[in-house]
């Protein structure tokens, strides 16, 4: 859709955005930086969910489970095996990829509601599984695991602000997110992406066109779980703490809310989703304790009516309208 | 032996509750072919209404009970008419997202209107009763009776009334049903109303056991799902039997095999196991769809 804007402006716009993103952590307080880190983490997790639910049409109400397992994988690797923090991310991805692939296999037999139900059950069971007594030595039981936030490898001051641990993690997360979004974009824009969408829209026709349904569906599950698991691992590093009660069924629901609000089957939509689920509850919390959930619920239903393709769908529609107006 | 019997009976007592929730789920499924994720929160909300009527307005239990059932029926009907009717032809994903939206809204409403403190909810049945035994408290016998009455009423409704027949027709073959003059869309609404009413009864039967708070139904809903699937999602009697089986299994496994900490995992394994090994449940009909 950028084809009609001169290439020069795209470059200038991109560079300005990059400069802004790089300066952002030095313009705000440390706590805000921490919140931005979480936005990035959620955006990656929503990207993962979106590959499965948005692009491939397999409804998951249990992606919080993969997020939780990724977080625990990272925490255990760092806590017990003293693996450096950056090395836990690929391990979490691999671990959750396998786990997702295994979950995706029975999911082949479950369509629509039933898959939603099975994954919902998974999400509900996760905190209990993590608290299980027999694996307490590993997971720390109900107490969870406390981690030390990694120190920045070098130090400098910019705009009178030091490069704190949170600011360093901001750049680290940003790089990881850029890599993930690039990977997802590369994966989805070509043959694989079209195949996933074909499977979503018309499985029988897709099979007739020579798409191997089981392979694509379980691979989508694996990749999606892997990316969300990696986001979970990143969250463990960024927050410096994992406990079973941070991964309740609400987390899975929030990820779904983020995916819907940002835009199902939209890659940049995941960023809006991340911003939404990080900041809207903060604002809504000031109204009342129950307000965030109510607002989430209203947003879900309102979006299904008004903007079924989410913020990104709305932006695209607006853009198309503006362009046709400009073209006269 | 004594301990085993005790576990089985207390499992049956829980199973009665799961059976009622499963029954409500089956009702919605029969009428609309959807699985309602908001069922548990709707039931909780109904129970809060009953609580407010009894404790704040001072009504007697049974008046409040029937009033709540009526309000829930109307509420369920309205939810379908207002929120879900435009979605009747929408894809499954859209429906699931709307159900999750409803779940969040009802949960938040319960919290906002009645706050998050845990409340005691009374049982309508006397504490001491000639019928109560060592294994069964009076409340459990009473709720079993209520469940039985509900099951028979539903059976009679679907089997012998013309509205029941129309509802079955609308669910099975909406297009042909429309041609013979059945108002299919209203039948869906009626299904939602009935399910909300059954959910309300289930909620009021659960509340004396687990206490009333906005998240009362979360775990119970999962067992209800497991029961409904085990019994066959299109079979009311199967749902009740499935609920009872789940209750007993949960208790026995909890007591002898895996401990009480992993009870929800039992439900998870049951759901995934049933869906992969026997997707139609024990008593469900095999559904064949045309391409």
Q: Flag whether pLDDT at B87 surpasses 50.
A: yes
- What is the percent of chain A where pLDDT is above 90? 14
- Please tell me the predicted confidence (pLDDT) of residue A5: 67
Which of B275, B278, B284, B290 should be substituted to probe chain A, the one whose Cβ sees the most A Cβ atoms within 10 Å?
Answer: B275
Distance from B138 to chain A by nearest Cα, in Å? Answer: 31
Strand pairing partners for A161? A158
- What does the pLDDT average to over B143-155? 84
Q: How far is it, in rounded angstroms, from Cα B264 to Cα A121?
A: 8
- Please tell me the predicted confidence (pLDDT) of residue B289: 58
Helix axes B218-231, B39-55, angle to 10 degrees: 130
- The answer to which of A141-145, A321-325, B132-136 has the lowest mean pLDDT is B132-136
Is A22 part of a structural domain of the chain? no
- Please tell me the predicted confidence (pLDDT) of residue A41: 93
| Tens digits of residue pLDDT in B181-211 | 888 888 888 888 988 998 899 888 888 887 8
- Please tell me the predicted confidence (pLDDT) of residue B286: 65
In the stretch 47-86 of chain B, residues with CB closer than 8 A to chain A read 83, 86
Q: What ipTM describes this predicted complex?
A: 0.81
- Domain span at residue A116 reads 30-152+161-327
Is A111 part of a structural domain of the chain? yes
Closest by CA to B102, choosing from B52, B45, B47, is B45
* Contact assessment for residue A89 and residue A264, using Cβ atoms and an 8 Å cutoff: no
CA distances from B199 to A192, B72, B194 (A): 44, 8, 8
B chain contacts of residue A61, beta-carbon cutoff 8 Å:
37, 96, 100
- What does the pLDDT average to over A22-48? 87
Using DSSP bridges, classify how beta strands A157-158 and A161-162 pair: parallel, antiparallel or unpaired.
Answer: antiparallel
Structure-block tokens of residue B173: 């073959």
- What does the pLDDT average to over A39-48? 93
- Please tell me the predicted confidence (pLDDT) of residue A234: 92
Is A11 part of a structural domain of the chain? no
B chain contacts of residue A128, beta-carbon cutoff 8 Å:
261-265
Note if the pTM is more than 0.90.
no
Number of structural domains (chain A) is 1
Report angle CA B232, B147, B43 to the nearest 5 degrees.
80
In the stretch 221-240 of chain B, residues with CB closer than 8 A to chain A read 222, 225-226, 229
Q: Phi, psi at residue A150, to the nearest 5°?
A: -65, 140
In the stretch 242-271 of chain B, residues with CB closer than 8 A to chain A read 259, 261-265, 267-268, 271
Q: How far is it, in rounded angstroms, from Cα A294 to Cα A316?
A: 28
Q: How far is it, in rounded angstroms, from Cα A3 to Cα A63?
A: 36
Helix axes B263-277, B218-231, angle to 10 degrees: 30
| Tens digits of residue pLDDT in A74-108 | 988 888 888 888 888 999 999 999 988 888 877 77
Determine contact: B128 vs chain A, CB below 8 A.
Answer: no
A chain contacts of residue B214, beta-carbon cutoff 8 Å:
290
- What does the pLDDT average to over A240-258? 86
Q: What is the number of CB-based contacts under 8 A between chain A and chain B?
A: 138
Give the mean pLDDT of chain A.
84
Distance from A257 to chain B by nearest Cα, in Å? Answer: 8
CB atoms within 10 A of CB A320: 11
Q: Which residue has the higher pLDDT, B213 or A110?
A: B213
- What does the pLDDT average to over B87-111? 84
The closest CB to that of B107, out of A257, A293, A308, belongs to A293
**What confidence tier does B132 reach under pLDDT thresholds 50, 70, 90?**
low
Is A18 part of a structural domain of the chain? no
Residue B12, C-beta contacts closer than 8 angstroms, at least 6 positions apart: B244, B247, B248
Maximum average pLDDT range among A47-56, A298-307, B119-128: A47-56
Q: Flag whether pLDDT at B290 surpasses 60.
A: no
| Tens digits of residue pLDDT in B25-78 | 887 787 777 788 888 889 999 999 999 998 888 888 889 999 999 999 999 999
B chain contacts of residue A112, beta-carbon cutoff 8 Å:
92-93, 96
Which of B93, B222, B291 should be substituted to probe chain A, the one whose Cβ sees the most A Cβ atoms within 10 Å?
Answer: B93
- Please tell me the predicted confidence (pLDDT) of residue B69: 93
Indicate the helix (H) or strand (E) that contains B273: helix B263-277
- Please tell me the predicted confidence (pLDDT) of residue B67: 93
Determine contact: B277 vs chain A, CB below 8 A.
Answer: no
- Please tell me the predicted confidence (pLDDT) of residue A1: 47
Strand pairing partners for A145? A242
Q: DSSP alpha helices (H): ranges in chain A?
A: 7-27, 30-49, 63-79, 85-107, 112-131, 136-139, 165-189, 191-201, 203-208, 213-239, 249-262, 269-285, 291-306, 310-327
- Domain of A113: which CATH number? 1.10.3470
Q: Flag whether pLDDT at B251 surpasses 80.
A: yes
- Please tell me the predicted confidence (pLDDT) of residue A98: 92
- Please tell me the predicted confidence (pLDDT) of residue B73: 93
Residue A175, C-beta contacts closer than 8 angstroms, at least 6 positions apart: none
* Contact assessment for residue A51 and residue A255, using Cβ atoms and an 8 Å cutoff: no
Is A49 part of a structural domain of the chain? yes
Maximum average pLDDT range among A108-112, A136-140, A320-324, B116-120: A320-324
Residue A73, C-beta contacts closer than 8 angstroms, at least 6 positions apart: A88, A91, A92, A95, A96, A229, A232, A233
If you measure CA to CA, which chain A residue comes closest to B291? A204
Distance from B196 to chain A by nearest Cα, in Å? Answer: 19
- Please tell me the predicted confidence (pLDDT) of residue B70: 94
- Please tell me the predicted confidence (pLDDT) of residue A2: 47
* Contact assessment for residue A49 and residue A255, using Cβ atoms and an 8 Å cutoff: yes
Structure-block tokens of residue A117: 């139900």
If you measure CA to CA, which chain B residue comes closest to A260? B97
B chain contacts of residue A204, beta-carbon cutoff 8 Å:
291
Q: Which residue has the higher pLDDT, B231 or A110?
A: B231
Q: How far is it, in rounded angstroms, from Cα B68 to Cα B49?
A: 7
The closest CB to that of A113, out of B96, B107, B219, belongs to B96
If you measure CA to CA, which chain A residue comes closest to B37? A117
Is A17 part of a structural domain of the chain? no
Closest by CA to A210, choosing from A188, A234, A233, A191, is A191
């Amino acid at each position: 859709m950028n084809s009609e804007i001169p290439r020069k402006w795209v470059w200038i716009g991109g560079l300005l955005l990059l400069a802004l993103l790089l300066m952002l952590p030095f313009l705000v307080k440390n706590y805000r930086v921490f919140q931005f880190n979480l936005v990035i983490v959620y955006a990656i997790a929503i990207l993962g969910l979106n590959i499965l639910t948005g692009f491939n049409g397999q409804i998951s109400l249990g992606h919080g489970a993969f997020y939780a397992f990724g977080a625990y994988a990272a925490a255990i690797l760092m806590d017990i095996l003293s693996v450096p923090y950056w090395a836990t991310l690929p391990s979490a991805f691999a671990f959750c990829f396998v786990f997702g692939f295994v979950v995706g296999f029975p999911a082949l037999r479950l369509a629509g509601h039933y898959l939603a139900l099975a994954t919902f059950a998974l999400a509900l069971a996760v905190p209990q599984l993590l608290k299980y007594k027999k694996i307490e030595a590993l997971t720390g039981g109900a107490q969870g695991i406390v981690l030390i936030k990694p120190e920045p490898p070098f130090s400098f001051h910019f705009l009178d602000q030091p490069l704190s641990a949170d600011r360093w993690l901001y750049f680290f997360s940003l790089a990881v997110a850029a890599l993930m979004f690039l990977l997802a974009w590369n994966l989805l824009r070509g043959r694989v992406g079209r195949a996933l969408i074909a499977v979503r829209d018309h499985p029988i026709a897709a099979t007739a066109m020579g798409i191997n349904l089981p392979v694509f569906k379980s691979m989508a599950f694996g990749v999606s779980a892997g990316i969300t698991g990696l986001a979970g691992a990143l969250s463990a590093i960024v927050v410096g703490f994992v406990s079973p009660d941070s991964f309740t069924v609400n987390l899975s629901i929030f990820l779904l809310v983020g995916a819907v609000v940002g835009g199902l089957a939209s890659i940049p939509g995941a960023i809006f989703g991340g911003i939404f689920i990080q900041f809207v509850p903060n604002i809504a919390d000031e109204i009342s304790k129950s307000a965030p959930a109510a607002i989430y619920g209203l947003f879900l239903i309102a979006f299904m009516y008004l903007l079924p393709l989410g913020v990104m769908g709305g932006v695209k529609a607006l853009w198309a309208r503006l362009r046709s107006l400009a073209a006269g | 032996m004594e301990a085993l019997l005790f576990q089985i009976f207390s499992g049956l007592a829980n199973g009665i509750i799961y059976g009622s929730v499963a029954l409500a789920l089956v009702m919605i499924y029969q009428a609309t072919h959807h699985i309602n994720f908001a069922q548990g929160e709707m039931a909780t909300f109904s129970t809060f209404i009953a609580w407010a009527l009894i404790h704040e307005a001072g009504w007697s239990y049974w008046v409040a009970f029937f009033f709540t059932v009526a309000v829930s029926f109307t509420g369920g009907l309205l939810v379908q008419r207002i929120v879900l009717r435009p979605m009747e032809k929408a894809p499954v994903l859209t429906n699931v997202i709307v159900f999750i939206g409803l779940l969040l809204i009802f949960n938040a409403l319960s919290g906002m209107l009645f706050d998050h403190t845990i409340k005691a909810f009374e049982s309508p049945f006397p504490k001491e009763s000639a019928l109560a035994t060592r294994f069964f408290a009076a409340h459990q016998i009473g709720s079993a009776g209520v469940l039985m009455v509900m099951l028979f009423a539903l059976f009679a409704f679907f089997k012998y009334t013309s509205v029941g027949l129309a509802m079955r027709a609308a669910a099975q073959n909406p297009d042909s049903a429309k041609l013979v003059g059945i108002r299919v869309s209203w039948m869906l609404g009626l299904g939602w109303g009935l399910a909300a009413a059954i959910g309300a009864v289930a909620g009021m039967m659960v509340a004396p056991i687990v206490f009333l708070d906005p998240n009362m139904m979360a775990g119970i809903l999962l067992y209800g799902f497991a029961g409904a699937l085990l019994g066959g999602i299109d079979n009311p009697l199967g749902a009740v039997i499935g609920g009872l089986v789940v209750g007993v299994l949960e208790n026995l496994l909890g007591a002898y095999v895996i401990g009480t900490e992993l009870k929800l995992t039992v439900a998870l394994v049951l759901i995934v196991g049933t869906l992969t090994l026997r997707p139609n449940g024990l008593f469900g009909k095999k559904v064949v769809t045309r391409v």
